[in-house]
Structure 1
Amino acid sequence: MNTKVLETLEYDKIKAQLGAFLSTPVGRKEADNLTPETNVETINYWLRETADGVLIDRLKGGIPLTKLADVTPHLKRLNIGASLSATELSEISAVLRNTSKIASFFEQMNDEIIGESLLVLPAQAQNLSVLSDVTQKIQIAIDETGRINDEASFDLKAIRGKIVGNEQAVKNKMQAYTRGKSAQYLSDPLVTIRGDRYVLPVKAEYRSQFGGVVHDQSQTGQTLYIEPQAVVEINNKLSELRVKEQVEEQRVLQDLSAALEPFTSEISQNVNILGHFDFVNAKARLAARLDAMQPIVNTNNHVDLQQAWHPLLDKHIAVSNDIALGDGYKAIIITGPNTGGKTITIKTLGLLQLMAQSGLFITTKRPSTVGVFHEIFADIGDEQSIEQNLSTFSSHMANIVSMIDNIDDKSLVIFDELGAGTDPAEGAALAIAILDKVASLGGYVIATTHYPELKLYGYNRPETLNASMVFDVETLQPTYQFLMGVPGQSNALAIAKRLGFGEDVIGAATALTTESDQDLNNMIVDLVSQRDAVKKNNMTLETRLKSLEEQSEKLSEQQRKLEKERAQVVLDAKNEANHIVASTKKQAEQLITEIRKERLNSGSQNSHLSEQELQSKKKQLDQLRQNDSLEKNKILQKAKRAKMLAVGDEIVVQSYNQQGILVKQHSNGQWEVEMGILKMLVDEDDIIKTEATAKAQQSKKKQKRKKIVNTNVVVGSSRGTVNASLDLRGVRYESALSELDRYLDTAVLANLGTVEIIHGKGTGALRKGVTEFLRSDRRVKSFRFANANAGGDGATIAELS
C-alpha cells in the first residue's frame, strides 16, 4: 500500500488514537508498524482478534495487563552471562507475573460461557510459558520497586538483622549526647550522618569534649561533625556489616540471573505475546470509543457501508450515509455544491477501507461489507507545489499520472474535483478521459466534480452511477446526505432568487442558460421527486406489513386459545357423558345379575334373553363411553407437552423469537434462559419447546416405559446408598449446578437432613454460583460454609427441608 494515501486519508491519526490505549513497548511497536494488509486470510484473522478483544473488553473489562518495561536489553545481557541489577530483575519479574495472570485469565474463561465465543485469542494464550518456579523465586527475593527483600537469603536476613541492632545501639548512645550536660556543647541537639557514619554537630570550641573523628564541618567552621570515640567501634562494625550486605546482595542477584538465563527464549516469546495482547486490547478500546462495528470482508470487492460516518468526526454530530460500490457498478460520480460534504464522503470510504484492511472495526451503524484492494490511490485537496513551481492543476495532473501507471482491477481510486483548476470545457473533457482510462484498467473509482458534463457521463457509461449531496434550497444549507443514483442539481438560480435577486435578473440568467442545461435540471428534479415518492411508499408498505404481521400473530394466538377452549369443552362433555353411561351401565349390570339369578333359580331354558345376548347388550353399553384420554386428544396433549418443561430443554422465547436453553426454574415460576452469551428470566407462558426437543423427549418416554420395572428397582435401591457429600471440584460451572440440582432431589428422596457440597476455593465463581443456587432453592432450609478444619469456604453445609 502506497504511503501517500495513508497521509492523504489521515490514517496516522487513527493510529495515534490507537496508541493512547497501549501500555507495553511491544504493543506500541506493533501499532507503529501497522499498515493495511492485502491478504484476505490475514485480514479476517486480525478482525477475529479484534472481535475477541471487544467481547473481553465488554464482559471482563479487557485483558488484565499491567504496564511493562522493555526487557529486551536485559535478556540480551542474560544471554552473555551478565548479572542483572535488582531493578532489571524486578522488570522481568513483572513480565513473568503478567504471564501467569494472563494464562490463568484465559483458563478461567474456558470454564465460562464467554470461552465458547472467543475465536483466536485463547489459542494464542496457550503459547505462553508459565515459569512458576523462577517467578516465585524472584518474587520472594525482589519486590515490585526493585528492592532486595530480607527473605532473598538466610545470610542476608541475618546480616540485616545485625545492622539494625548496631544502628539502634549507635542511635541510643548518640541520643544520650543530645540530652543532659553534653547538649550544651552541640550546635543542635540532634544526630546526623556524614559518609555513612553517625555524627554530632559540635561547637568548634568544644571539640575535645567528645574525642573521636571529625568527618565534616560547616561552611563557617563554627560547627564540626564529630563521631564520638564511644561509637567509633560500633560504626566500624556497621560499615563491615554493610559491606557484607552488599556482597550478599550481589550474590543473590547473580543466582537469580543464573536461574533466568536458561529461559530467555521463553521470556522473549512471552514478552511478544503480552505485547500483542496489549495491541488487541487497544484495538478493542478504540472500537468502543468510536462505537465501531466488525465489517464483513468481500473478496469480490463489493463495498457496502451502511450508515457510515468519518471516524475522526464526533459520532453525535456527523451525518451517517450509505455508500456502496462494486456490485453492479465500479464508478461513482458525485456532484453537488461546495461545502456539501462530497470530500468527507469519499474520505470516509477510503479511510474505513484502510481501517478494515488493518484489522480495525469501522464506524457504521449497521453490519457492512468491505473489499480487499491491493492499492488505494487518492487525489484530494490542494496539491500545489511551490518547491517544484507547479500550479494546483499541474500538481493534480502529475499525481494522477503516477497513479495510472499502477492501477489494476484490485485498485480503488479516489478523485476530488477531477479536472478542476483549468478551462471548464477542457477540464470536463480531461476528466471524462481520465475516468475512461481508469475503467479500461479495471479499477474502482469514486470521484467528485462540478462539471455538468459528468452528470451525463454517469448515464452513458456502463458500470457507472451518478450520486449527489442533497442541498436544502429552502434553508440554503447543505444536509450532508449522500444520494445514490441521482446527480447533483444546480441550485444557483434558486439560491440567488431566495437571496433577493429580482425576476428581471433571474429571468435574464435563465434565458442565457442552454435548453439542455434546463432539461437536465428538470430531469434531476423529477428523479428526486420520484425517489422521495418511492421512499415514502416503501415506508408506508413497511408500516402496513408490520401491522399485518402483528395482526396475523394475534389471530394465530386467538386461534390457539379457541382450539384449546374447544378441546376443553369437548373433554368436559365427554366426561359428563361417561358419568351418565357409567351410571346406566351400573344399573344394567344389576339388571343382568338379577336376570341371571332368576334363570339359575328357575332352571328354565325358555328365557327370551340368552347369556350371549346379555353380554352383547353390555358390550354395546361399554361402547357408549367417550374416550377422554390425552393420548387421543391431540390439542390438549400438545398443550400439555408444551408446558412439560425441564432443565436443558431447547426452547423458543416467543417475545424475542430467539432459541435458547433452559438453565433452571426460579421460585416465582419464571425460567432462567440462556440465549447465546446472554441469560435472562422469562415467564413460562412466553416459552415453547422446539419440535426437536419434543420428539426427543417422546422417544425417551417410550424407552422409559419399557424399562419402568427395572428403573423402579434401581431407584428404590439407590435411596439407601445416597452419599451425604457432593464433590463439584473440576466440574464446569453450568454442569456443576445441574449436577447439584439432581443431587438435592436424590438427597431429599433419601431423607438426608444435612449434606456437604465441596466446590473448592479457586476463583470463587463456582462457590458464588452454589451459594446463589442454594439461597433460591426451596429444598434447602439453611446453609453455611464448613468449619475451618473441614475445608472452610471451600465447602458448604446445607440443611434440607
Structure 2
Amino acid sequence: MDQKILKQLEFPKLIKQIVDHAETTRGKEAAAKLMPSADFEEVIRWQNETDEAVQVLRTQGHMPLGGIHDLRGSTKRAKIGGMLSATELLEISDTLRGSKRVKNFVQDIDEVDTPILVELVEQIEPLSNLEKEIHMCIDQDGKVIDSASQGLRRIRSQIRSLESSIRDRLEGYTRTSSSKLSDAIVTIRNERYVLPVKSEHRGSFGGIVHDSSSSGQTLFIEPQAVVELNNKLQASKVEEQQEIERILTRLTELVQQEAELLEHNGDILQKIDFLFAKGKYGQQLRAAKPEMNHDGYIKMIQARHPLIPESEVVSNDIEIGKDYRAILITGPNTGGKTVTLKLVGLCTLMAQSGLQVPALDGCQLAVFDHVFADIGDEQSIEQNLSTFSSHMTNIASIIERFNSNSLVLFDELGAGTDPQEGAGLAMSILDYVVNRNARVIATTHYPELKAYGYNREQVINASVEFDVETLQPTYRLLIGVPGRSNAFEISGRIGLKSEIIDQAKTMIHEDSRSVENMIASLETSRKQAEKDFEEAEEILQESEGIREELKREYDRYLAKKEDYQEAAKKKAQKIVDQAEQEAETILQELRQMKSSAEIKEHQLIDARKKISDQKEALQDTNQKQQIETTNQPDEFEPGDEVHVASFNQKGQIVSQLNDNEYEVQLGIMKMKVPKKQLQLIKRKEKEKKTTPMATVRGRQSHVKTELDLRGERYEDALHRLEKYLDDALLAGYHQVSIIHGKGTGALMKGVHAFARKHRSINSYHLGHPNEGGSGVTILSLK
C-alpha cells in the first residue's frame, strides 16, 4: 500500500493504538509493522487468528504474557562466544518460564476452539533443563547464589569470616579510642574497611590513609592491625569474581547450545502477543469480525470511525458493490462527508490487516488489490502547485494505477477551479472509473452533480443529514438522497430578513429550484417512511409475540385438557369397578343370608346403605368433571382467585367489564371471560403492607415473553439476556423466546453456552419453523 494514502486515511494513528495494547517489546515491534495485505487467503488467516484471540479474551479475560523478554541480543552474544551477565541469564530463565505458562494456558482452554493458537504453542520448546540450571545459580534479583557451586560457597563463607574479624577489630577501636575518632563507626574506602580518625591523632593508629574529608579534619585510616586481614579479604573477593565468571561462562555455553530454539520461541511469543494486541484493540472498539469476499462488496451496519471517541462518533450503514459500484455524497461542507469517506477506507484497511472493524455482527468487506484516496488539501509548496493542480496530480496517478478490484476515494472531486468546468471534469472522472468496474466513493458540493446519480445505473446519490432547526449536521449518511445546500433555511433561522431571502430565491435558476424542491420532497418522504416503518415494525413484533404466546398457551391448554380428561376417565372407571365389586359382594352376602334364612332387618338396612354409598361415590366423581356453578357469588371482585372452565385453569379477576364479562389474568395473558365460566376459589385477602419483593413482582409482570438481541454486541447481548431471565423468572414464566438472528452464528452459540450453565434453565432448543427457525432459541425455565 502507498504510504501517502495510508497517511491520508490516518492508518498510522490506528497502528499506534494497537502498539499500545502489546505487552512485550517484540509484540510492539510486530504491531508497528502491521500492513494491509491484498492476498485473500492471507487476510482470511489473519482474521481467524484475531478472532481466536478475541474469543480467548472474552472467555478467559487475559493472556499471561508477563515475564517475557526480548532475548535476541543475548542469544546473538552467546553464539559469538561472549559471556552473558547474571541479569541476562535471569531474563532467559523468566522468558522460558513465561513461555511454558503461555503454552499450558492455551492447552487448558476448553470453552472455545483455538486450533491456531494450539498449533502455535505446540512449537514452543520448554527447555526445562536450561531453565532449571539458571534457576539453581541465579536468584530473582539477578545475583549468583552461594549454591551455584561448591567453590563459590566456600569462598563466600571465607569472605564473611574475614569481614566479621575485621569489623570486630575495628569496633574495638571505636570503643577504646572513640575520643580520637570523628565518628565511632566503621566505614569503607577503596573497598577496604577503615576508621574516620581526627587528623591530629593520625599517628595513634598507624596503617594506611585512604581518603580525607573535604575540610581535611578527618582522615580515613586503615589501621595496621587489619591491613593483612583486608588483603586476604580482597584476595578472596577476586577469587569470588573468578568463580562467578566461571559459573556464568558455563551457563552461557548452555544458552549457546539452545540459542536457535530460544530465538524460535521468541518468534512464537512475539506472534501471540501481536495477535492479542489486535484482539484487545477489537474489544476496545466493540468491533466485529468481517466476512471477507473478493467480489468488491462492502456492507457495514452501524459502522463507526475507529479514531473518533465513542461518545462523539455517529454510526452509519454503508453498502456498495452489489446494486451499485459508486456512491456520490453531496451536501455542504463540515457535514461529515470526509469522515464517511475515511471511515470506509480505514475499515477496509483494517479488515485487510486482519483487524476486526467497528460495526455490528454480519458486516462484509472486500479484499482489494489497491485502495486509492485523494483526500484533503495536498498543495505542494515545493512544487509550487495550486490546490486544484495538486488534486489533479494525485487523481492522474490514481487513474494510471487502479484496476477493477480497486477501491477509489475522491474527496471534493473537481474542487478548486471554475464550478462548471470542475463539475464536468468530476463527472467525466467518475464515468471513467465506474466504467472500469472499480468501487468509487466521492464527495462534492457541486449542485450540478446532484442529478448525476439518477442518470447512471451504477451510481447512487447520498448525503449527510443537516438539522435546519439546530443549524448543526447530524453526520447521518442518507443513501439515495442528494444533499441540499440549506442556505435559505439557515439564513432565515439566523435572522436574515425574509424579503432578502425571497428575492434571492427569484434569482435562482428554475432548474436549481426544481432540484432543491425534489430533494426536499425526498427528505420529507424518507423521514415519514422511516417513522412509518419503525411503527409498523414495532406493531409487527408485538403482534408476532402475542400470536406466538397465544398459540403456546392454547397448545398447553389442549395438552392439559386431554391429560385431565384421561385421568378423570381412569379414576371414574376405577370407582365403577370398585362399585361393581362391592355390589357383587353385597349380593353374595344376601344370597347366603337368604339361603340360611337368617336375614334380619338391620342386615338389609346395612346392605342397602353400602350400595347407596357406592352410588354416591360414583356421582361425586362425575360431578368433579363438571364445573360447579352453585353457591357462587353474585359478583366477583378484583383479586379474587377463580377457576376458568373454558381453559380449565386458575386465574385472577382483574376488573369487571360488564354485567356478564370479566377481565381475568391467566398466566401472562389477560382475557375476557363470561361470568358463567367462572367459579370462585378464594376471595381476595385483605391488603397487606407491600414488601420489596411484591414490588419487584409487580414490575416484572409486564416483561415480554421474548427478548430480541439482534444487532447487539456479544457482551452486551449476554448481559441483557442475564437480566431478562431474572425478570422472566420473577414474572413466573415457564418458557421464553430469545431472538438472536442467524448471521455468523456467534450470538446463537453464546446464548446456548449461557443456557447450558444457567441453573434456572431446564432445557433449550432452536425454534420450529413457525417460531422463527434457527434465528430463535426457546428456553424452558424451572
Would you call these one fold, judging by a TM-score over 0.5? yes
TM-score, length-scaled by structure 2: 0.75
Residue 642 of structure 1: aligned partner: none
Residue 124 of structure 2: aligned partner: 128
1:168 pairs with 2:136 = no
Residue 236 of structure 2: aligned partner: 241
Verify the 8 A CA contact 1:420 1:427 in the aligned structure 2: yes
Residue 378 of structure 1: aligned partner: 373
Verify the 8 A CA contact 2:387 2:416 in the aligned structure 1: yes
Residue 758 of structure 1: aligned partner: none
Instruction: Please state how far the C-alpha of 1:73 moved relative to its aligned partner.
Output: 2.0
1:550 pairs with 2:545 = yes
CA distance in 2, matches of 1:561, 1:166: 94
Instruction: Please state how far the C-alpha of 1:105 moved relative to its aligned partner.
Output: 1.4
Residue 57 of structure 1: aligned partner: 57
Instruction: Please state how far the C-alpha of 1:320 moved relative to its aligned partner.
Output: 0.9
CA distance in 1, matches of 2:556, 2:290: 45
Match of 2:290 among 286, 292, 295: 295
Instruction: Please state how far the C-alpha of 1:571 moved relative to its aligned partner.
Output: 2.5
Verify the 8 A CA contact 1:53 1:62 in the aligned structure 2: no
CA distance in 1, matches of 2:258, 2:754: 39
SS of the aligned residue for 1:413 comes to strand
Which segment drifts farther, 38-47 or 131-140? 38-47
Instruction: Please state how far the C-alpha of 1:118 moved relative to its aligned partner.
Output: 2.7
Q: What is the one-letter code of the residue matched to 1:175?
A: E
Instruction: Please state how far the C-alpha of 1:515 moved relative to its aligned partner.
Output: 1.6
Assess, with a 3 A threshold, how the Cα gap between structure 1 residues 284 and 690 changes in structure 2: closer, same or farther.
closer
CA distance in 2, matches of 1:489, 1:231: 98
1:564 pairs with 2:645 = no
Instruction: Please state how far the C-alpha of 1:543 moved relative to its aligned partner.
Output: 1.2
Residue 719 of structure 2: aligned partner: none
CA distance in 1, matches of 2:468, 2:3: 40
Verify the 8 A CA contact 1:658 1:675 in the aligned structure 2: no
Assess, with a 3 A threshold, how the Cα gap between structure 1 residues 690 and 24 changes in structure 2: closer, same or farther.
closer
Verify the 8 A CA contact 1:49 1:119 in the aligned structure 2: no
CA distance in 2, matches of 1:262, 1:321: 57
CA distance in 2, matches of 1:450, 1:529: 21
SS of the aligned residue for 1:145 comes to coil
Q: What is the one-letter code of the residue matched to 1:95?
A: T
Match of 1:195 among 190, 199, 204: 190
Residue 683 of structure 1: aligned partner: 760
Verify the 8 A CA contact 1:407 1:441 in the aligned structure 2: no
CA distance in 1, matches of 2:556, 2:68: 65
1:103 pairs with 2:184 = no
Instruction: Please state how far the C-alpha of 1:52 moved relative to its aligned partner.
Output: 2.1
SS of the aligned residue for 2:401 comes to coil
Instruction: Please state how far the C-alpha of 1:60 moved relative to its aligned partner.
Output: 2.8
Assess, with a 3 A threshold, how the Cα gap between structure 1 residues 688 and 335 changes in structure 2: closer, same or farther.
closer
1:655 pairs with 2:651 = no
Assess, with a 3 A threshold, how the Cα gap between structure 1 residues 545 and 476 changes in structure 2: closer, same or farther.
same
| Percent identity over paired residues | 42
1:538-687 residue pairs with structure 2 within 5 A? 538-586=533-581, 654-657=735-738, 675-676=752-753, 680-683=757-760, 687=763
CA distance in 1, matches of 2:470, 2:575: 84
Assess, with a 3 A threshold, how the Cα gap between structure 1 residues 514 and 119 changes in structure 2: closer, same or farther.
farther
Instruction: Please state how far the C-alpha of 1:690 moved relative to its aligned partner.
Output: 8.1
Task: Give CA-to-partner distance per residue, 1:467-501, whole Å, 9 cap, x none.
Answer: 00111222222111110011112312222233333
Which segment drifts farther, 210-219 or 461-470? 210-219
Residue 140 of structure 2: aligned partner: 144
CA distance in 2, matches of 1:219, 1:483: 82
CA distance in 1, matches of 2:48, 2:96: 27
Instruction: Please state how far the C-alpha of 1:382 moved relative to its aligned partner.
Output: 0.8
1:89 pairs with 2:89 = yes
Instruction: Please state how far the C-alpha of 1:508 moved relative to its aligned partner.
Output: 2.3
Task: Give CA-to-partner distance per residue, 1:327-376, whole Å, 9 cap, x none.
Answer: 21110000111111111111111111111111112122443211111111
Q: What is the one-letter code of the residue matched to 2:134?
A: I
1:433-582 residue pairs with structure 2 within 5 A? 433-582=428-577
CA distance in 2, matches of 1:572, 1:312: 68
Unmatched 5+ stretches in structure 1: 599-625, 627-651, 660-672, 693-801
Q: What is the one-letter code of the residue matched to 1:90?
A: L
Residue 340 of structure 1: aligned partner: 335
Q: What is the one-letter code of the residue matched to 1:410?
A: N
Verify the 8 A CA contact 2:300 2:360 in the aligned structure 1: no
Task: Give CA-to-partner distance per residue, 1:352-411, whole Å, 9 cap, x none.
Answer: 111111111212244321111111111111121111010000000011001100110111
Verify the 8 A CA contact 1:674 1:680 in the aligned structure 2: no
TM-score, length-scaled by structure 1: 0.74
Verify the 8 A CA contact 1:336 1:488 in the aligned structure 2: yes
Assess, with a 3 A threshold, how the Cα gap between structure 1 residues 331 and 688 changes in structure 2: closer, same or farther.
closer
CA distance in 2, matches of 1:459, 1:236: 99
Task: Give CA-to-partner distance per residue, 1:591-634, whole Å, 9 cap, x none.
Answer: 99899999xxxxxxxxxxxxxxxxxxxxxxxxxxx9xxxxxxxx
1:277 pairs with 2:272 = yes
SS of the aligned residue for 1:655 comes to strand
Assess, with a 3 A threshold, how the Cα gap between structure 1 residues 205 and 501 changes in structure 2: closer, same or farther.
closer
Match of 2:404 among 397, 402, 409: 409
Instruction: Please state how far the C-alpha of 1:217 moved relative to its aligned partner.
Output: 3.2
CA distance in 2, matches of 1:293, 1:441: 31
Verify the 8 A CA contact 1:36 1:355 in the aligned structure 2: yes
Residue 70 of structure 1: aligned partner: 70
Say how many residue pairs are matched.
625
Which segment drifts farther, 99-108 or 503-512? 503-512
Which segment drifts farther, 385-394 or 192-201? 192-201
Which segment drifts farther, 330-339 or 578-587? 578-587
Residue 3 of structure 1: aligned partner: 3
Residue 19 of structure 1: aligned partner: 19
Instruction: Please state how far the C-alpha of 1:588 moved relative to its aligned partner.
Output: 7.5
Unmatched 5+ stretches in structure 2: 594-621, 623-732, 741-749, 769-782
Residue 117 of structure 1: aligned partner: 113
CA distance in 2, matches of 1:33, 1:321: 30
Match of 1:398 among 383, 390, 393: 393
